[in-house]
Structure 1
Amino acid sequence: MPLYFSPAHAAFYDDGFHSIIPADALEISQARHAELMEEQGAGRIIAAGPDGLPITLDPPAPSTDHLLAWMRRRRNRLLAECDHTQMPDVTLSEARREAWREYRQALRDLPETTTDLTAIEWPVPPA
């Protein structure tokens, strides 16, 4: 049973399942469909090639805004995990509390001090 690929919708259609197949749909083999699904499972994206047939592409690189947002979410989680180190009733020596304060400040400074968002040098928490 043939499968079809619509370049306009970047979607697959099976005439045994779909009652309407878009007019631009091109026939592809079951074997080619299986190859495309395997590549998609490995992280590639399916798109229409110049001839309208399906191809796989590497996903686009994340935008700077996306990377900054990810960094801030992780940083905020790391800060929340050590909030207790700065509470007045915590039983830490002054030196240990200061080490945690410096670590927390380094986390807060990351958005301004990081030059390569794909290779962030995360501060190491005090031992």
Structure 2
Amino acid sequence: MSPVREPSTDLALLKLRHNKALDKLEQDRADRELLERLKLARRGQWLGFASLMLILGTVVLLAMTGHDLVAAAVAVPGVIAIVGVFVTGQMKMPASLLPGRVNKSAAAQPATESATN
């Protein structure tokens, strides 16, 4: 004879399997989001590098043709703008987008749910 399981045991097993499936889906979503953020950061770095090279090429061309003041007028604001974008872009990133950060209210939620069940 096979042992008879109580309905509450079956329900608990179903809840456990459901929670594991949801955890896997959440982890997959988080992995995809991280990859997208990395792609975006990589693209931004390439665009920043390309614009810096364009500014430096323009400055060199202007300096070689004898337009030293115009070269300086292009170089200083251009380099300051590019460096400023990179520095403030890193400083103003929302905490929710930083890797390794956990929303404290979301982390505390499962503990309160299990306490009420």
TM interval, shorter chain, is 0.3 to 0.5
Q: Which has the larger radius of gyration?
A: 2
- For normalisation by structure 1, the TM-score amounts to 0.35
Structure whose residues are more often helix by fraction: 2
- For normalisation by structure 2, the TM-score amounts to 0.37
Structure whose residues are more often strand by fraction: 1
